[in-house]
Amino acid sequence: MNIDDFGTKISVLGEAKIDSPLKSHGLPGETGTRFITDDSRVSVNVQIETLKGFIGKKQPPPSFEQAGPREKIYFDPSKLKCAISTCGGLCPGLNDIIRSIVLELYHIYRVTNIYGIRHGLQGFVPDYGHDIMELNPKSVSGIQDKGGSILGSSRGTQDIDTVVDCLERMNVGILFMVGGDGTLMASKRIADEILKRGLKISVICIPKTIDNDIFLVSRSFGFDTAVDVATLAIKGAHNEAAAYPNGIGLIKLMGRHSGFLAATAALAQQDANFVLIPEVDIFLDGKTGFLQALENRIKQRKHAVIIVAEGAGQNFFDDQEDQYDASGNVVLKDIGIYLKDKITKYFNEKAIPISLKYIDPSYIIRSLPANANDSVFCGFLGRDAVHAGMAGKTNLLISFWNNHYIHVPMEASAGKRKKLDTRGRLWQSVLETTGQNTFFND
């Protein structure tokens, strides 16, 4: 990460002049202790080697604005209208995010006009005819125990002018967008159009991705739950593989461009012998190829477990024409089925009988409720999103960075992607626990 490639200044709609209602929740004799100032910063990079270069210099190291409640707010709660939209693929924790935002707005800031926009950006477009959902403590009661999103979702681009027209008609003051990289880019375009029109509408994004690959976000909600469920799939694959002579368990996990889920799940369970991720090229054939390594493992231990991220091995399909989904993303070729067929063919040709079980838990994972850790995490993200919006901040996403909740300008993150460092401790730990390098080098 080059810290000179982006700025960290947060945009504001205007001066915040209204006293925050959170004052009444402070401890006796500790006036203002709960508030965060804009001068509260979180360093971009905490590595000692990096910070040494700033010692003795006047310029401080680059830092992010810390998230949290401000003493002065911009919007008058009694007149404010807010809207919430969830976009893209489903993810554990979406309902927790919605509930956290609604409860914070309603109970703490006394904002009673909260609208749920149905089915993502489609909900802003009159032609689709989606109803607006009124949100309040009663309507969000218990939704944290349900998977999916009570607002629904959709994929695909919509006309930004039409979206902003709708926000104007509804007199929305704060728009909360929950989604992945595509949603982040759409949110930035919405915020830019709002600025172009001179409107006083705050746009706050809460990043969502099971892949945990959003740039400048060290942890995304839903990831912890995904690891939990993925370990169950690994346990099942291992039990199946160990129960049969030459048993092979093959699990495909999410990870279009990054192998964080595959790597973390492998470390959580430590039953996998091979972990294949997008950041590392896969070579199937030859004495140092994956298939020979798998054969070596089978001969030595009589069973094997393989985890493959969905974005791994896409180079095998270079001769096939790319297809795109409604959001403009390339539709990945199915590396799981591809490997299943290649493994079966390889051992058949060698007359080595195998028992291969293929497991793809992707749609189970993404539609489940969040686990306890993710639910708590979603609560922090939702509350800090509300604090940022009420303070009149805009064009930002709520991120978790260096163990702090921070504000990141959308332009610093949109269109960029975080990838697993193959020289870092996470991947090196995977290599140690699987022993897969031992087989590849045999």
Opening angle at CA 245, ends 240 and 248, nearest 5: 45
- Amino acid at residue number 264: T
Q: Along the chain (442 residues), what's the average pLDDT of each consecutive run of 10 residues? A: 65 96 67 80 68 55 92 97 96 98 98 98 96 97 96 92 98 97 94 97 96 94 96 96 97 96 97 96 91 95 97 85 68 91 97 97 93 98 98 97 95 93 95 80 48
Q: Which residues are within 8 A (CB) of 105 and not within 5 positions of it... i.e. 6 or more apart?
A: 82, 111, 114, 386
Are 3-220+370-413 and 223-367+424-440 equal in CATH topology? yes
CB 177 within 8 A of CB 186: yes
CB 82 within 8 A of CB 389: yes
CB 311 within 8 A of CB 362: no
| Beta strand spans in 151-211 (E) | 174-179, 202-207
Q: Quick one: pLDDT at residue 104?
A: 98
Q: Per the residue annotation, which of 96, 181, 211, 360 is the catalytic one?
A: 211
224 belongs to the catalytic site: no
Q: Quick one: pLDDT at residue 1?
A: 47
The domain spans of the chain are 3-220+370-413, 223-367+424-440
| 116-167 confidence digits (pLDDT tens) | 999 999 999 999 999 999 999 999 999 999 999 999 999 888 999 999 999 9
Q: Quick one: pLDDT at residue 29?
A: 61
CATH of 223-367+424-440, one of 3.40.50.150, 3.10.180.10, 3.40.50.460, 2.60.120.1310: 3.40.50.460
Fold (CATH) for 3-220+370-413: Rossmann fold (3.40.50)
Q: Quick one: pLDDT at residue 147?
A: 94
